[in-house]
Structure 1
């Protein structure tokens, strides 16, 4: 790119063939973020090219379509997206319930038996949007949680 990009510009990183929004500058690098949100990456300024409005729109639509395949229209590194298993990846264990987290503190051990998160709770009539994950404690079984 002949001119230095400005914060907010939409550019294409020719090294990775990704389109992103300029978020800032760190040393010799330009920090870019995917159009639909997500983790920033560093790019060398000489490898950036401006995008046309059509190219930027196409990249944004492709990002949204990719996320919607998994039932959620959120950034890939968000809490909601991590709760949904993507094909070919291992699913992370859900976090422990509030009761089980508090039960780890001295004096609150009896709260462990109060855990009621025995299954994932999804938003009704949604495409898999997780409202409350099941308790992620390994010591629980369905009969342990009430």
Structure 2
């Protein structure tokens, strides 16, 4: 029997980093992504974001890839946002995403980091945040 436990911190932003994700939209979106991940057998430990991006902490299954998980989350959520007309313009995610592996010993630290995105971004821009990961 195969055993795979690979944690990935996945971050993706709105097209041109447009601040579509107001609190109201962001909370609805996050709840939708949680349900969608359950349906697609994506183990999502944490999700949160800010006005122009979302963070997800996922544990990959043995037949999942980062690209496939990103596609399933981003593609379906953009479709859902547009279907429900949550934005005045057509909603699109940026093509790119950021993914970094997370060791088992850092899961709680990363989970807390994701949960505190609003406080974090009162002090730091998304661009500065991404530079720290590199």
TM-score range, shorter-chain basis?
under 0.3
Which protein has the bigger helix share? Answer: 2
Q: TM-score of the superposition, structure 1-length normalised?
A: 0.25
Q: Between Structure 1 and Structure 2, whose CA radius of gyration is higher? A: 1
- Higher relative contact order (CA closer than 8 Å, sequence separation 6+): 2
